[in-house]
Structure 1
Amino acid sequence: MSRWDGIDEFVATAEAESFSRAARRLGLSTSGVSRAVATLEERLQTRLLYRTTRRVSLTDAGRAFLARARRLIAERDEALASVGEDDGDPRGLLRMTCSTAYGERFVVPAVNRFMLSHPKLALEIDLDDAVRDIVSEGFDLAIRFGRLTDSRLIAKRLASRTRRLCAAPSYLTRAGAPRSIADLAAHTCILGAADTWPFRDGEREIAFKPQGRWRCNSGQAVLDAALLGLGVCQLPNFYVDAAISDGRLVPLLEANRPEDEGVWAVYPHLRLLPAKVRLLVEHLEEALSGQG
């Protein structure tokens, strides 16, 4: 029996809070994962997990062991990567996550081109507008926006994007154009996922809370509503630039446009960054430069 037996299964189960979800992540059977964790507990003479019919949770000993087990796995994987990638060609599985719309439009096409040049690499991309905990969920890389605060992560700026306020000519004919941020209180706003809209007034940052009768957490859906004249919207520029250029949308309060926000590649602190992550980040930096 290897001294590693059960450690990967334990970490995956603890993070997923489920033997079945851990099994799917590892490509194993649920019973096999459960047996491996039970054997590990027997070897350690310590219960690591509480089991119920609905979920799995950590004991105090399990919580303490989880942090050490993650470090062991990370160091093992770093060591294996450093040997396996001596020829400079990345290999193994790379797991990454990104928001849905930006991922579909910019990141996935760039990653697909990267994959053509690296046939030994396997890829798993999770497109999700929720901010995932890439350390606990085992992701190698994430693409994030704006300010970053997680000290467990290293961030490299890839590109930038900005948000633009706009409305269709048909709406502005009916309601008029806002002349100031305060004027927006009298307008019908098309609401997306954000509860506030950022603006700048000179050196001041202003967060305006929009009000309206329409809300959807899809940027594409917000764009469609704006094009139909349902109200004023604020969206990342990659949604609206083409419609503004051809006159289907009219930009508003451009002097109050918020500062550009960064598009970042973020990844966990590791003493040795795997070549698969390093090379993909370099590729994305080149591919996304100038994209919004």
Structure 2
Amino acid sequence: MPYRPKTTVEQWRILQAVVDAGGYAQAAALLNKSQSSLNHAVSKLQNMLGIELLEVKGRKAFLTQAGEVMLRRSRMVTQQVEDLERLADTIDKGWEPEIRIAVELAYPKQYLYQALQAFYPESRGSRVQIIDAVLTGTQEIIHEKRADLVITGSVPKGYLGEPLYVTRFIPVVGKQHALAQATQLELTELSQQLQIVIRDTAQKPQEQGGWLKSEQRWTVDNFYEAIEILQLGLGFCWLPDFTVQAGLADGSLQVLNFSSGSEKLAPLSLLSPYEEQLGPGSKLLRQLLLSVHQKETKDIPCKINSLSN
């Protein structure tokens, strides 16, 4: 006889919510369900499996050793079900009504806008939502599959990305800053200076990249807010080359001069969190974006030749 499951996907989703939220009461508020219904669902799940998954200590629920193993596997199952439902939705609707593209702030959007300009006549009325993301915020979007396309500075394990662009991060200050005219600086000298940093957009940000050794830091939402502060003569910041061109040209910003190289390179890639369920509109926009960069790469020799003449 064919195997008949003892448990339901909904029961596993409830277990995941209880663990992720840290307790039954918190999960009930998150799922808009009664706490008693969640208790009943998890209790029935444990009874059907014949093993204890959770133990309650005080007001918090903790996974047992067996629960940790089962929860890990259950996330894979619920994700597969979600992917199947998305695939069915894509097949049913055909051309998607909305396309979400998450973009790391370190990426120059001029290339995306060129792709969107070519996409518009073919878009069939699809709405396009552009989501700005920074650092681990971009990773969260990928793992939670909150966008159709993502331009990211780090491709997580299990995903494949198409290389797009390499951004150079340059350390700069305003022309009024005490370090503006200094030469042969050491990186250690910056530890006592005010550093301007860009806010990580993750719900649970993790400081795992960049130079963050200053005793005093001010955090802003984007590079252009950072530039406005720098131009007042306050602080220093590593900024993408394309954001500081105007400031360097008019002299309001100055590059910090170090005894050893201080530029940082950030390779950016394009990926889709759920490749198999990607709709035709998203596929077209992806191809157009890749084409923009392919054209840019072909034009580089011409630019070099024109500079050398």
Task: Name the TM-score, length of structure 1 as normaliser.
Answer: 0.64
Deviation at 1:59, TM superposition (A): 1.3
* Distance across 2 between alignment mates of 1:190 and 1:51: 46
Q: Does 2:266 match 1:261?
A: yes
Partner-residue secondary structure (3-state), 1:50 = strand
Q: Does 2:216 match 1:251?
A: no
* Distance across 1 between alignment mates of 2:249 and 2:85: 51
Count, aligned residues: 264
Q: Does the 8 Å CA contact 1:188/1:231 hold for their aligned counterparts? A: no
* Distance across 1 between alignment mates of 2:106 and 2:179: 31
Deviation at 1:231, TM superposition (A): 4.3
Deviation at 1:47, TM superposition (A): 2.2
Deviation at 1:9, TM superposition (A): 1.8
Q: Does the 8 Å CA contact 1:161/1:260 hold for their aligned counterparts? A: yes
* Distance across 1 between alignment mates of 2:160 and 2:26: 28
Q: Does the 8 Å CA contact 1:187/1:232 hold for their aligned counterparts? A: no
In structure 1, the partner of 2:95 is 89
Deviation at 1:166, TM superposition (A): 1.9
Deviation at 1:245, TM superposition (A): 3.5
* Distance across 2 between alignment mates of 1:284 and 1:252: 37
In structure 1, the partner of 2:54 is 49
In structure 2, the partner of 1:274 is 277
Unaligned runs of 5+ in 1: 195-206
In structure 2, the partner of 1:241 is 245
Partner-residue secondary structure (3-state), 1:160 = strand
Q: Does the 8 Å CA contact 2:163/2:268 hold for their aligned counterparts? A: yes
Whose helix proportion is higher, 1 or 2?
2
* Distance across 2 between alignment mates of 1:208 and 1:11: 36
Partner-residue secondary structure (3-state), 2:251 = coil
Question: Judging changes above 3 Å, is the alpha-carbon distance between structure 1 residues 15 and 226 closer, same or farther for their aligned structure 2 residues?
Answer: same
Q: Does the 8 Å CA contact 1:181/1:253 hold for their aligned counterparts? A: yes
Q: Which structure would you say has the larger Rg? A: 2
* Distance across 2 between alignment mates of 1:42 and 1:165: 60
Percent identity reads 16
In structure 1, the partner of 2:152 is 144
* Distance across 2 between alignment mates of 1:21 and 1:287: 47
In structure 1, the partner of 2:160 is 154
In structure 1, the partner of 2:231 is 227
Q: How does 1:104-253 map to 2 (within 5 A)?
A: 117-118=125-126, 130=136, 134=140, 138-140=144-146, 143-145=151-153, 148=155, 150-171=156-177, 175=179, 177-182=181-186, 185=189, 189-193=193-197, 211=214, 214-218=216-220, 220=223, 222-253=226-257
Question: Judging changes above 3 Å, is the alpha-carbon distance between structure 1 residues 89 and 136 closer, same or farther for their aligned structure 2 residues?
Answer: closer
Counterpart of 2:83 (choices 78, 88, 106) is 78
Partner-residue secondary structure (3-state), 2:170 = strand
Q: Does the 8 Å CA contact 2:190/2:214 hold for their aligned counterparts? A: no
Question: Judging changes above 3 Å, is the alpha-carbon distance between structure 1 residues 60 and 266 closer, same or farther for their aligned structure 2 residues?
Answer: farther
Could you tell me which amino acid in structure 2 is paired with residue 273 of structure 1?
E
Superposed CA RMSD in Å reads 4.9
Unaligned runs of 5+ in 2: 1-5, 199-209, 297-309
* Distance across 2 between alignment mates of 1:56 and 1:222: 43
Q: Does the 8 Å CA contact 1:159/1:285 hold for their aligned counterparts? A: no
Task: Name the TM-score, length of structure 2 as normaliser.
Answer: 0.61
* Distance across 1 between alignment mates of 2:53 and 2:64: 5
